[in-house]
Structure 1
C-alpha cells in the first residue's frame, strides 16, 4: 500500500497510462490542484519504487519525460478492478440521491 499511498500517485499512474509519456508540465496540467512540490515528491518516490521511468535529455533547456515501467503498468492493471468498483459506487450513490430527492418532492397523499 506504500507504493500507492498519497493523494496523487494513483492519479499520476492513470495520467501516464491514458496519455503515455509526459513531461512535467503536462503532468501538472493533467492533475489540477497538485502543487509542484508534491508532484516532484511523488514522482521521485514512484521512480524509486520502480513504477515510472524518468528520462533526462541533455539539451538546453533540459527536457525530462516520465513514463510507466512494466511494474507500473502491472500495478495499473491490478488497480483497474478498484476503479470499476469506485465507478459503480458513484453511480449507486447518485441513484440513491435521485430517489431520495424524488421522495422529498413527491406530493403527500
Structure 2
C-alpha cells in the first residue's frame, strides 16, 4: 500500500474525492491531465487497498429542472 500512495495521481485523486461521493466523470474532470485508463487503474487499486469504495448506482436519479 505504501507504494500506491507514492504513485503520480494517487494523492490528487484522494484529495479530489475528499469526503464526498463523486461520479466518475466529475472526478475525471477535476483532474486535468489524467487519462481515463490511469484514473480507472488507480481507483481499482485504491479500492483493493480499502482506501476508496466504488459502486455503480442501481438506478438513475431523476433530474428536476427549475
- What is aligned with 1:15? 16
Deviation at 1:57, TM superposition (A): 1.5
Question: Which has a greater percent of strand?
Answer: 1
Stretches of structure 2 that go unaligned for 5 or more consecutive residues are 61-66
Structure 1 CA distance for aligned equivalents of residues 6 and 18 of structure 2: 18
Q: Secondary structure at the match of 2:53?
A: strand
- What is aligned with 2:5? 4
Aligned-residue CA RMSD (Å)? 1.5
Q: Deviations over 1:24-59 (max 9, x none)?
A: 001111000000000000000000000001122123
Deviation at 1:3, TM superposition (A): 2.8
Structure 1 CA distance for aligned equivalents of residues 58 and 6 of structure 2: 32
Q: Secondary structure at the match of 1:57?
A: coil
Structure 2 CA distance for aligned equivalents of residues 40 and 23 of structure 1: 12
- What is aligned with 1:33? 33
**TM-score w.r.t. structure 1 length?**
0.50
Q: Secondary structure at the match of 1:6?
A: coil
Q: Secondary structure at the match of 2:56?
A: strand
**TM-score w.r.t. structure 2 length?**
0.79
